[in-house]
């Protein structure tokens, strides 16, 4: 008989000793993400029933004020993290400034800062396209017992102690790393339990999928234009296939499984790119590297970039190692001309 898959809870207990800090802390971090993901999943999957649940900003038939789903998701993740007494600070795409969490005893004794994009790609909800939650976890730098400061959030990605994403798709998955590989858990909605469905996820070194919004082609840097022409040329295993969902978590999740590269470059419309370094690029880069892939801004490793602002944007090249390196070659060559 097939061995029943391990649950997320059993996996956390089994892997606890890999988390280099206190034993209970990783559990509390991932367990709070797990709970919030189930709550948000329920709401996201109901979103299509607008006339029953009501569209955002309207009052539904129960007379409840409808929140925008990304606002709702933000509140669920923030409150769940606060309740678990694990975070001393939280930063979110939905909040201009970071949130100081003093703890129930007002001691500021919690040790971790969590940065997140609570519902990335939320504009896709109305057209039933998968969306995601992205989270990134650091140990605070400033003394325990004092209020968290901006310095605790502006850490390079190499300092992350955990990172992951939830993808609300045809099935809901939680995929995360604590620096010892990447594992994916699929929710069984009938019983509300996540099961280990994708152990030790790996990016293929090569792939034939490129994910980029070619509608911005004329605004791209020359190196990106040259790389796209390379992808589309009849030679060897090319032309590659273009697949772009417009939902970062979905595009990277597919590329990790099938092999591929995701690019959001600078453009004249987005001179620093569109994606946020701290709570989109760094966590996805940590996961990508842990799965054997590569992530850069076209020149420099994402995880080594020194952040200067909470919501700063960077160009993002992420995916199969050989594909990212080929794209970086074109970026370098174009700069030398
Ligand atoms: P564009 C969603 O808004 C997002 O942040 C990512 O999830 C996605 O990959 C990208 O932006 C899509 O941006 O400009 O192609 O619509």
- pLDDT tens by residue, 209-250: 999 999 999 999 999 999 999 999 999 999 999 999 999 999
What pLDDT was estimated at residue 137? 97
Q: In the predicted model, is pLDDT for residue 262 greater than 70?
A: yes
Q: In the predicted model, is pLDDT for residue 81 greater than 90?
A: yes
What pLDDT was estimated at residue 246? 95
pTM (two decimals): 0.94
Q: How confident is the model at residue 52 (pLDDT cuts 50, 70, 90)?
A: very low
Element (H, E) at 132: strand 131-139
Distance CA 221, CA 125 (A): 31
Which range in 105-109, 264-268, 276-280 is most confidently predicted, on average pLDDT? 276-280
CA of 163 to the centre of ligand 1 (A): 20
CA 108 to chain CA mean position, Å: 27
Domains and CATH numbers, the chain: 8-198 (3.30.540.10), 209-336 (3.40.190.80)
Averaged pLDDT, 118-124: 88
Backbone angles phi, psi at 270, to 5 degrees: -125, 85
Percentage helix, strand, coil, to 5, in the chain? 40, 25, 40
Averaged pLDDT, 311-332: 98
What pLDDT was estimated at residue 46? 77
Q: In the predicted model, is pLDDT for residue 40 greater than 60?
A: yes
Ligand 1, atom 3, residue with closest C-alpha: 121
Ligand 1, atom 13, residue with closest C-alpha: 246
Q: How confident is the model at residue 64 (pLDDT cuts 50, 70, 90)?
A: low
CB–CB of 317/297 below 8 Å? yes
CA of 274 to the centre of ligand 1 (A): 8
Atom of ligand 1 nearest to the CA of 213: 15
């Amino acid at each position: 008989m097939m061995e029943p898959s391990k649950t997320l809870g059993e996996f956390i207990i089994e892997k606890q000793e890999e988390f280099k800090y206190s034993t209970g802390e990783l559990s509390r971090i991932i367990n709070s993400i797990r709970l919030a993901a189930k709550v948000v999943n329920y709401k996201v999957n109901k979103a299509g029933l607008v006339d029953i649940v009501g569209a955002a900003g309207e009052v539904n038939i129960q007379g409840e004020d409808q929140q925008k789903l990304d606002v709702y998701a933000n509140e669920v993740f923030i409150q769940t993290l606060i309740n678990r007494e694990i975070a001393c600070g939280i930063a979110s795409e939905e909040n201009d400034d970071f949130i100081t969490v003093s703890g129930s005893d007002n001691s500021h004794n919690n040790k971790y800062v969590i940065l997140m994009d609570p519902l990335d790609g939320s504009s896709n909800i109305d057209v039933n396209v998968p969306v995601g939650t992205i989270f990134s976890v650091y140990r605070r730098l400033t003394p325990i017992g004092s209020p968290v400061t901006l310095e605790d959030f502006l850490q390079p990605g190499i300092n992350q102690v955990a990172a992951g994403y939830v993808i609300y798709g045809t099935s809901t998955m939680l995929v995360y790393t604590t620096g010892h590989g990447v594992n994916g858990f699929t929710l069984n909605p009938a019983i509300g339990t996540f099961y280990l469905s994708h152990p030790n996820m790996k990016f293929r070194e090569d792939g034939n999928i490129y994910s980029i919004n070619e509608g911005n082609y004329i605004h791209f840097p020359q190196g990106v234009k040259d790389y796209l022409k390379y992808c589309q040329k009849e030679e060897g295993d090319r032309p590659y296939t273009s697949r772009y969902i417009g939902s970062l978590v979905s595009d990277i999740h597919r590329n990790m499984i099938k092999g591929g590269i995701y690019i959001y470059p600078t453009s004249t419309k987005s001179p620093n790119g569109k994606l946020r370094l701290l709570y989109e690029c760094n966590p996805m880069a940590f996961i990508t590297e842990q799965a054997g892939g590569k992530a850069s801004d076209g020149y420099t490793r994402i995880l080594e970039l020194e952040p200067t602002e909470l919501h700063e944007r960077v160009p993002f090249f992420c995916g199969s190692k050989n594909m990212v390196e080929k794209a970086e070659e074109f970026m370098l060559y174009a700069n030398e001309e």
